[in-house]
């Protein structure tokens, strides 16, 4: 066996895809990923699948068997759910399945269908990722992240404009991503003038409700890897959890699960933060990107506001670190179960020099960061260009 590699990736368009069912979306992303990796479905020995809301919104569980039927296979299929971190969790478990030797080649699929339902129902369903007490108190996710944003701005003396810079940058990136939900660039003024959703967060601080599916092929088969023109190596994959309730946290200006997972990932990858060229991180709200870059150790705690305002994490204007070239959750869209897989796919594109108009020059190391709810769970993965060696 070789070091596991990602050898294929495909994502559907993200957005309001009213002509495609969840099953249609999954089929499209699986076929695309198989074609990308030049393998056929019979070479797939197991499947990991991430979905959050099918049960609540569509009375649609047991998707392992539904996928078996749709793909015509009898292999082990596992559905994993950890709210918005479901995709990252599915990847992590899939990777460990390869390492256990129980399979050599697997598919990791993420998919979510959210725009066919009333917004109120989707908002309530998403709140299932919060504690019972928070749900009863009427806290939606914009509300929860609004509290985190408020704490941050207050503690470190920033303004809403500091947050807005994140959205401006992510919409700029998103304008180069033809699979993304929003292709429009926005100005700081537009961001500042958008309506409040949950103070201090406005519409343009928030990721949208989206449909979409993304799939990757992961293998430890030395032949498949050496024959594959496109591949990335996995240096680390780490998961952490934390108390779900904001009221029980030690601090409201950090996400502890992100800190723990990132520290473990860098310890395990044996590279420095300064080695990372490109990151796809969980910007479900603008404040989340700032917290993530601080909590993962890229920015000093409390400096994130001014760092964001510098706008130096763009693919075409940066100090060596580029963030969310896909447009992030903000502009690319956030079909919950698919997000963690699309993040890995974006790094796959970047490290294989396949990211077209948004390509980061000479990208060698990439990182993905996927968060569940308000930080009750987090996954951090570190990738590099594939170095040929067997173990």
Which residues here bind a copy of itself, judged by CB under 8 A? 52-53, 55-56, 59-62, 64-69, 73-83, 89, 92-93, 96-102, 124-125, 127-132, 135, 238-245, 248, 256-257, 260, 372-373, 376-377
As measured in angstroms, the least distance from the Cβ of 235 to a copy of itself is 14
Count of beta carbons in the 10 Å neighbourhood of residue 44: 24
- Rounded to a whole number of angstroms, the distance between the first and last alpha carbons of the chain is 7
Least distance in angstroms from the C-beta of 258 to a copy of itself: 11
Q: Which of 51, 16, 9, 48 is nearest to 31 (CA)?
A: 9
- Taking the complex as a whole, the smallest distance from the CB of residue 209 to a copy of itself amounts, in Å, to 16
Catalytic residue, candidates 62, 84, 173, 284: 84
Given 171, 173, 334, 369, which residue is catalytic?
334
The tokens for 310 are 């510098």
Looking at the Cβ atoms of 58 and 189, the one nearer to a copy of itself is 58
Q: Of 188, 230, 245, 238, give the one whose Cα is nearest residue 345.
A: 230
Specify the residue, 119 or 354, whose C-beta has the smaller distance to a copy of itself. Answer: 119
Question: How many residues in the chain?
Answer: 391
Tell me which DSSP letter residue 206 carries. Answer: B
Least distance from a copy of itself to the Cβ atom of residue 248, Å = 6
Q: Which is nearer to a copy of itself, 43 or 353 (CB)?
A: 43
As given in the structure block, the two tokens for residue 227 are 């024959």
Query: Which token pair is 288?
Result: 């989340």
Whether 334 is a known active-site residue: answer yes
Q: Smaller CB distance to a copy of itself: residue 72 or 157?
A: 72
Q: Is the Cβ of residue 327 or residue 376 nearer to a copy of itself in the bound state?
A: 376
CA separation for the pair 86, 78 (Å, rounded): 12
CB of 290 to a copy of itself, least distance (A): 21
Answer whether 308's CB lies under 8 Å from 148's CB. Answer: no
CA distances from 67 to 11, 72, 75, 208 (A): 17, 8, 10, 26
Is 171 catalytic? The answer is no
Q: How far is the CB of 175 from a copy of itself (least distance, A)?
A: 32
Query: Which of 370, 282, 314, 280 shows the shortest CA–CA distance to 185?
Result: 314
Cβ proximity to a copy of itself, 144 vs 307, nearer residue: 144
CB neighbourhood size of 59 (10 A): 7
In 3-state terms, what secondary structure has residue 41?
helix
What are the angstrom distances between the C-alpha of 82 and each of 112, 256, 376? 13, 16, 9
Determine how β-strand 212-219 pairs with β-strand 5-11.
antiparallel
| Residue 103 vs 191, nearer CB to a copy of itself | 103
Alpha carbon distance 43, 61 (integer Å):
26
Which residues fall within 8 angstroms of residue 366, CB to CB, at 6 or more apart? 232, 276, 277, 278, 279, 280, 347, 350, 351, 382, 383, 384
CB of 372 to a copy of itself, least distance (A): 5
The set of catalytic residues is 84, 334
């Amino acid at each position: 066996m070789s070091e596991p590699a990602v050898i294929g990736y495909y994502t559907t368009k993200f957005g309001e895809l009213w002509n495609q069912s969840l099953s249609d979306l999954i089929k499209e992303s699986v076929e695309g990923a198989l074609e990308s990796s030049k393998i056929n479905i019979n070479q797939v020995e197991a499947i990991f699948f991430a979905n959050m809301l099918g049960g609540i919104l569509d009375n649609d569980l047991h998707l392992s068997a539904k996928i078996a039927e749709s793909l015509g296979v009898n292999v082990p299929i596992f559905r994993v759910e950890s709210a918005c971190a479901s995709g990252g969790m599915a990847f992590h478990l899939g990777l460990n399945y390869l390492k256990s030797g129980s399979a050599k080649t697997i598919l990791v699929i993420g998919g979510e269908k959210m725009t066919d339902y009333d917004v109120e129902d989707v908002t309530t369903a998403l709140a299932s990722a919060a504690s019972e007490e928070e749900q009863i108190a009427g806290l939606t996710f914009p509300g929860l992240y609004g509290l985190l944003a408020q704490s941050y701005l207050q503690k470190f003396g920033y303004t809403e404009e500091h947050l807005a810079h994140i959205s401006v940058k992510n919409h700029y990136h998103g304008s180069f991503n033809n699979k993304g939900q929003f292709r429009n660039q926005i100005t700081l003024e537009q961001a500042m003038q958008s309506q409040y959703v949950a103070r201090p967060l406005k519409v343009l601080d928030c990721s949208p409700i989206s449909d979409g599916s993304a799939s990757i092929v992961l293998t430890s088969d030395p032949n498949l890897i050496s024959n594959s023109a496109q591949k990335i190596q996995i240096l680390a994959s780490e998961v952490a959890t934390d108390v779900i309730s904001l009221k029980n946290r030690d601090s409201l200006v950090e996400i502890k699960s992100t800190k723990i997972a990132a520290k473990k990932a860098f310890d395990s990858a044996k590279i420095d933060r300064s080695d990372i060229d490109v990151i796809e991180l969980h910007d479900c709200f603008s404040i989340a990107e700032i917290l993530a870059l601080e909590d993962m150790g890229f920015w000093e705690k409390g400096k994130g506001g001014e760092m964001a305002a510098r706008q130096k994490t763009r693919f075409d204007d940066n100090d060596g670190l580029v963030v969310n070239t896909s447009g992030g959750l903000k502009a690319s869209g956030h079909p919950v179960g698919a997000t963690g897989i699309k993040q890995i796919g974006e790094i796959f594109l970047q490290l294989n020099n396949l990211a077209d108009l948004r390509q980061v020059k000479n990208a060698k190391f990439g990182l993905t960061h996927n968060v569940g709810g308000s930080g009750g769970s987090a996954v951090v993965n570190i990738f590099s260009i594939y170095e040929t060696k067997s173990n």
